[in-house]
């Protein structure tokens, strides 16, 4: 049976990589994004029945309307990836622009909740489905991103809650927690001097830069039958960042030159 995959934030970055990966597996892909023109371009480039809709995930009414349209066209989705999200620059809690803070929370957390409500209800009624939310290394550790970090920590707990709410209805809910990924948004910050790729490479256990396709591979796994017994998990895809941060900061020194 051909699966239907809905990807929010699917016009670029992690979302686009996921859309392309699921399309390559033969899924019908719906690309949702606030940038309607870019979403349409990506869908057109993918072809094979890929479709798009312009929608801002902070607008729950618009999401519900799109969900109704999708269900009418292709039935309840089998897969939902909530990739819509925005970054912020380094700041302190004391000095952060609260308008930026509220926008980050509106997109990253409220947008994820609204997306899961809109499509999770359809999956619940159908008795099947797999949802993957997008957390972050910030879900596990404190970094100087006072809106982004807590919003991604909230995604971890939301994922656990949803896994229990929807599990008895045949719907699995997991999250991936990427490290720094070289998305267009991250590349723009690198180009602006706000991020250092050498520091990013050195932050993990593996000497590599994580690309969107690496995240898409794991998302595809979590939505596959191979992950049938996995739910409520936030899986780091971090090139060993979580292990390396504590290891490399050991006050007693390192047995080798990191």
Q: How far apart are CA 136 and CA 179, in angstroms?
A: 6
Give me the residue label for tokens 């312009």: 54
Q: Of residues 148, 180, 241, 247, which has the active-site annotation?
A: 148
Neighbours of 218 (CB within 10 A): 19
Residue/partner pairs of 92-100 with CB below 8 Å, 24 or more apart: 92/144, 92/146, 93/146, 96/146, 96/147, 100/147
Helices (H), the chain: 13-24, 36-46, 60-74, 98-105, 111-126, 148-167, 184-191, 197-202, 212-222, 241-248
Is there a catalytic annotation at residue 148?
A: yes
Q: Per the structure block, which two tokens stand in for 116? A: 């899961």
Q: How far apart are CA 179 and CA 240, in angstroms?
A: 9
Chain-centre distance for alpha carbon 147: 16
Asked whether the beta carbons of 130 and 222 are under 8 A apart, the reply is yes
User: What positions carry a catalytic annotation?
Assistant: 148
């Amino acid at each position: 049976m051909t699966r239907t995959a809905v990807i929010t934030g699917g016009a670029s970055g992690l979302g686009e990589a996921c859309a392309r990966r699921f399309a390559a597996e033969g899924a019908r892909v719906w690309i949702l994004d606030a940038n309607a023109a870019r979403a349409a371009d990506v869908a057109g480039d993918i072809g094979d029945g890929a479709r798009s809709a312009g929608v801002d995930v902070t607008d729950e009414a618009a999401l519900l309307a799109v969900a109704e349209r999708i269900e009418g066209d292709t039935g309840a989705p089998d897969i939902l990836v909530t990739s819509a999200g925005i970054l912020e620059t380094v700041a302190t809690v004391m000095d952060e622009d609260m308008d930026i803070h509220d926008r980050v929370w509106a997109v990253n957390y409220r947008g994820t909740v609204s997306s899961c409500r809109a499509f999770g209800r359809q999956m619940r009624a159908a008795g099947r489905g797999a949802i993957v939310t997008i957390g972050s290394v910030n879900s596990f550790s404190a970094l100087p991103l006072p809106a982004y970090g807590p919003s991604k920590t909230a995604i971890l707990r939301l994922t656990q809650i949803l896994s229990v709410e929807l599990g008895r209805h045949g719907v699995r809910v997991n999250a991936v927690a990427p490290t720094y990924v070289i998305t267009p948004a991250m590349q723009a910050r690198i180009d602006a001097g706000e991020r250092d790729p050498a520091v990013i490479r050195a932050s993990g256990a593996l000497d590599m830069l994580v690309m969107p396709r690496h995240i898409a591979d794991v998302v595809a796994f979590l939505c596959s039958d191979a992950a049938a017994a996995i739910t409520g998990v936030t899986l780091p895809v971090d090139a060993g960042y979580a292990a390396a941060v504590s290891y490399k900061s050991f006050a007693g020194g390192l047995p080798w030159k990191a």
